Structure 1
């Protein structure tokens, strides 16, 4: 029997949300390497930040330089990678922030487990969809070239399977959508779900930021 008891804290998630002036959630971007997850995540965070919203970006590659530095790319390590990142994201949501996670997260099972750690309207799965041939052509980090040459093993889309989401909250077709359109689609969804307030213009956003300082 687990003898560890959850310790309640005096300041709640709702308290933090009220202080921030908006709700909190995790935006989980999944897709093949080269599909555009990092590009969209960065532009999304910048857009939300400019509107005076509190955000944090969890980039899969960056996390492997720190908390996930001990993990490789075996099936077990990939699952542990997703577990850790989703638990970190949950802490940011509890802190009242909008956290953006950009990871390949290749299996449906791991993504569903990640979703299960959050409450209603706290987790939004965004499928960054792009044909693998387009991803190979982009190959911004040269990883497909190395994988096809046999220099990298267990590379998603080459010798490791990617399972597309069956019912994602948002689908972005990055082979035919501009980055700005992808970000706008996510913003519209967050507004419709009541996570963030409707935009009323740049002037209003600037006023909101000044009032919070």
Structure 2
């Protein structure tokens, strides 16, 4: 029987160690759980600053001068060189996450006007292709014409210029820093005698 004594001692030691290890493991688990509960009480979701909120709203078109407007927005531009000061407005309608249609117009005190419809669908085919186009009519009134050569302002005549156009483009982005663009356009110009004198027809025949 003496030959079995070491085995009995080892078994007794193992039985005594197991409850101690289990108790230690439970203590560590409880400590971790308490730490997590304490963090949950003190940690809160990140709150953006006022500047970050304004920047996000500006980017999403919620401000009047945003580069990505939604709905009505002020539109700035020139109808034609010499047509004078303009006032304009536009309306943008999103038909997808980024694709949108713009309807916009300009009016000048010279009675010149511009009306345009544009469509853009960016970041197609894995953010590598942009597609867009526009169509419009430009009516520029009392545009100064001075003939050919170097002449004084006394040689001015006035012409009304009406332009209709349709254009489109495809832009490829094979790399983030590289853009390859191709486009096509159709334009039609019609010049007319202006109601403002002297009209072009009375000076240049």
Select the structure with the greater relative contact order (CA < 8 A; seq sep ≥ 6): 1
Q: Which protein is bigger by CA-based radius of gyration? A: 2
- Greater share of residues in helix: 1
TM-score category (smaller protein) = under 0.3
Q: Could you tell me the TM-score, scaled by structure 1's length?
A: 0.24
